[in-house]
Amino acid sequence: MSNEPLSDQKLLKSDSLRNSRRGLITTITAIAALVVVGLVASFLVIGNAAQTVTTTQVTTVPSTTTITDTASNVSSQQINAEQIYASSNRSVVTLQGTQVQNSNFGNQVASVLGSGFAITYSGSNYIVTNYHVVALTSNLTATFSNGDAYSAKVVGSDPYSDLAIVSVPSAPSSEFVPLTLATSSSLRVGDSVVAIGNPYGLTGSMTEGIVSQLGRTIQDETAGNYSIANVIQFSAAINPGNSGGPLLNANGQVVGITTAGYTSSQGLDFAIPSDTIIMELNSLITTGSYNLHSYLGISEVDMNYQLAQATGANVTYGVLVESVVTGGPAANAGIQGGSQTTIVNGQQYLIGGDIITSINGTRITTSDSLGTYLSEHTVAGQTVSLGIIRSGDKYMTVNVTLGARPTISS
């Protein structure tokens, strides 16, 4: 699964094939009340399925923000959903607004419904939500659990992490019941979690589940079809309108922000990890953006036994580089893409390229692990050492200076 945008028809076709193997991701924003000549309909924001830190730069969050890394032994605790709901529900808000969308009927106005939750940063109150909830949204309002509603505005956003920070200037501080951000690095598969949000406008709805897996990658068109990496997969049910709501651990602390789910599935949902929020929070609030996402410039697919047989490779793990972006970091470092098309198990692949098996000495087994490493441990401008297999059995290391992803206009 590629972690880069697709720059030509060949890459687009190749990525489309990989997407079909992974399924379709739906961002969980309810877009409803489409009005044109009296016609009313409901829509979902649809994205494609897919895929930063020993960093050289780490953002320090002021101590006035409630953040804790003391979520130890949470996995051994039996979750008390009733208690968590009682202490957290008032922190969740409903975000609404309108978007102008293009269709076969021309420009149409759709109402947007999503969720968010309150935090306190450096003495000020904010709402955390998803980028896709508020992107291109006009007439934004925030409604608190007691029904009080106020005009809201976006302070900062990052489409590459599907994050946004919203302020509600006219709301008194008494409306805000801030949640605590815990480090998501303490999560383990099997940990109990709950999600609170406003599915289909049903405010204050809670569902319970477990962490199904960590380090997933998803891809959404609002992120320019770049991958959103290091995502939490969980089983608590979410639906349109849940986007932007908190994912809470057994202590009632935020470990993620619900963002997407597979269509036509049950219990296959995703959340942006709280560590991403913590890393970006200062930049989003003080500068309005976050611009340190690293960029490798490749289109790749996961290796497996069948691909190893087809390519003559001596490894069955890692990622096969199908294409490199001309002038991109990987291409400039000499990483090679594929040159021959082949069919394996009914799927088309571009073979003959390098196979990435490690980065800075860390074993890379899949596109998920590559994207997660880049997200957690690198920033733009950093040089990394890639371990690669070339021509099937020649191991070598290549130093690559990572680029920065381009700015996506809202």
**Pure H helices in 367-408:** 367-377
Residue in 301, 373, 297 with CA at minimum distance from that of residue 333: 297
Residue in 356, 406, 293 with CA at minimum distance from that of residue 52: 293
- Hey, which residues are catalytic here? 132, 162, 243
* Residue 408 φ/ψ, nearest 5 degrees: -95, 120
Q: What are the structure tokens assigned to 50, written together?
A: 């897919």
Q: Report which secondary-structure segment, H or E, holds 312.
A: none
Close Cβ partners of 371 (under 8 Å, ≥ 6 residues apart): 1, 3, 51, 217, 227, 229, 230
| Cα three-residue angle 9-11-13, rounded to 5 degrees | 70
Cα separations in angstroms, 403 against 156, 230, 384:
22, 19, 11
**Pure H helices in 252-360:** 274-287, 305-311, 329-333
Q: How many CB atoms lie within 10 A of CB 142?
A: 25
Query: How would you classify the pairing of strands 254-262 and 269-273?
Result: antiparallel
Q: What are the structure tokens assigned to 289, written together?
A: 């953006």
The span from the CA of 293 to the CA of 376, in Å, is 10
Cα separations in angstroms, 360 against 132, 331, 376:
33, 18, 13
Kindly tell me the number of DSSP H helices and DSSP E strands found in the chain. Answer: 7, 27
Q: What are the structure tokens assigned to 354, written together?
A: 């390098």
Whether the CB-CB separation of 142 and 118 falls below 8 Å is answered with no
The span from the CA of 182 to the CA of 271, in Å, is 14
Q: How many CB atoms lie within 10 A of CB 9?
A: 8
